[in-house]
Amino acid sequence: MTRSKFNWGHGIALAIFIFIIFILSFVFRTFFDPRLDHAMESKEYYKEDLEFPLEEKRRENAAALTQNINLMVTPDGLWIHFPKDMDHKKIKAKLIMHCLANKKFDIEKDLTLDSISYLIPGKELRKSRYSFKLDWDYDTIPYQYKSKFNL
């Protein structure tokens, strides 16, 4: 009776088996890990797609400004500074911030400005990567500012 020995064919089969187990573990973790959210960034994707020409006009108007939105992260939170030549009482703004790690920390609000700057308190923010979108109207002219940043 001969004893079977480990040969190169067994090694290749074992390597393929280990590789398959490795890939399947990533697939399993991706689908079943509750910390990972697989939702689209927006639930109204098609509606936003129809509004794209207006968004393009908003971005063009913002690019034509001599001074655009300035974001500053401080220990107090996130400061949004509007252009200094605008009267803050005439600005109507809507802020949308998507936390790319967890949608529970998304922020959507209409901004009421008391000055040319607006503070989002640090307690509302989490250390994560954010997608930032600010739409605002000034004297019936629409503007938009988009950015991504880490906190």
Local mean pLDDT, 10-residue blocks, the chain (151 residues): 80 96 90 66 72 87 89 90 89 90 86 90 87 90 90 81
Amino acid 15: pLDDT = 96
Taken in order of first residue, the domains within the chain and their CATH numbers are 45-150 (2.60.40.10)
CA distance 1 to 3: 7
Q: Measuring CA to CA, how many Å separate 34 from each of 67, 82, 105, 126?
A: 42, 38, 15, 18
Residue 36's pLDDT is 64
Question: According to the model, what pLDDT value does residue 33 have?
Answer: 73
pLDDT for res 54: 85
Residue 22 has a pLDDT of 96
pLDDT at 32: 78
Question: What is the pTM (predicted TM-score) of this model?
Answer: 0.67
Q: Is the dihedral of CA 46, 47, 50, 54 positive or negative?
A: negative
Which neighbouring-strand residues pair with 77?
74, 121
Dist CA 150 CA 137 (whole Å): 27
